[in-house]
Structure 1
Amino acid sequence: MTVQDTLQDRVAIVTGAAQGIGRATALRLAAEGAVVTCADIRDCAETVALADKEGGRAAAVELDVRRAADWERAVTAVVAEHGRIDLLANVAGVVNLLSPDTVVDLTEDAWQVVIDTDLKGVWLGMRAVIPQMVAGGGGRIVNISSMAALRGLPNLASYSAAKAGVVGLTQQAAFEYAEQGILVNAIAPGTIDTPILAEITDEMREANANAHLIRRLGRPEEIAAMAAYLFREGGFQTGQTVPVDGGWAAKGNF
Structure 2
Amino acid sequence: MSLNGKIAIVTGAAQGIGEATAKRLAGEGATVVVADIQDSTRTLDTILKLGGKAEAHHLDVRLKDNWANVVREVVERHGRVDLLANVAGVVNMLSEDSVVGLTEEAWDHVVGTDLKGVWLGMQAVIPHMIERGGGRIVNIASMAALRGLPNLASYSAAKGGVVSLTKQAAFEYGEKNILINAICPGTIDTPILADITDEMRQANANAHIVRRLGEPTEIASMVAYLMREGSFLTGEIYPVDGGWAAKGNF
User: TM-score, normalization: structure 1?
Assistant: 0.98
Match of 1:119 among 99, 115, 118: 115
Match of 2:52 among 52, 56, 77: 56
Gaps of 5+ in 1: none
The yes-or-no answer on 1:227 pairing with 2:223 is yes
Q: Take 1:199 and 1:90, find their aligned partners in 2: how far apart are those partners?
A: 25
**Equivalent residue number for residue 250 of structure 1:** 246
Query: What is the CA distance between 1:54 and its match in structure 2?
Result: 1.0
Query: What is the CA distance between 1:249 and its match in structure 2?
Result: 1.1
The yes-or-no answer on 1:86 pairing with 2:82 is yes
Q: Take 1:133 and 1:160, find their aligned partners in 2: how far apart are those partners?
A: 29
- 2:86 alignment partner AA: N
Moved over 6 A (4+): none
Q: Take 1:204 and 1:244, find their aligned partners in 2: how far apart are those partners?
A: 20
CA deviations on 1:62-101 (whole Å, 9 max, x unpaired) are: 0000000000000000001100000000000000000010
Across the aligned residues of Structure 1 and Structure 2, the Cα RMSD in angstroms comes to 0.7
Task: List aligned pairs for 1:73-222, cutoff 5 A.
Answer: 73-222=69-218
Query: What is the CA distance between 1:253 and its match in structure 2?
Result: 3.1
**Equivalent residue number for residue 33 of structure 2:** 37
SS at match of 2:54: strand
SS at match of 1:52: helix
Task: State the aligned residue count.
Answer: 250
User: TM-score, normalization: structure 2?
Assistant: 0.99
SS at match of 2:233: coil
Q: Take 1:43 and 1:158, find their aligned partners in 2: how far apart are those partners?
A: 26
- 1:182 alignment partner AA: I
**Equivalent residue number for residue 20 of structure 2:** 24
CA deviations on 1:51-70 (whole Å, 9 max, x unpaired) are: 01111001100000000000
Q: Take 1:128 and 1:86, find their aligned partners in 2: how far apart are those partners?
A: 12
- 2:155 alignment partner AA: Y
CA deviations on 1:193-246 (whole Å, 9 max, x unpaired) are: 000000000000000000000100000000000000000001100001101000
Q: Take 1:23 and 1:80, find their aligned partners in 2: how far apart are those partners?
A: 24
- 1:192 alignment partner AA: I
Q: Take 1:235 and 1:252, find their aligned partners in 2: how far apart are those partners?
A: 32
Q: Take 2:248 and 2:220, find their aligned partners in 1: how far apart are those partners?
A: 24
Q: Take 2:22 and 2:88, find their aligned partners in 1: how far apart are those partners?
A: 12
Q: Take 2:178 and 2:11, find their aligned partners in 1: how far apart are those partners?
A: 19
Q: Take 2:248 and 2:4, find their aligned partners in 1: how far apart are those partners?
A: 39
Q: Take 1:252 and 1:232, find their aligned partners in 2: how far apart are those partners?
A: 32
SS at match of 2:119: helix
SS at match of 2:171: helix
Gaps of 5+ in 2: none
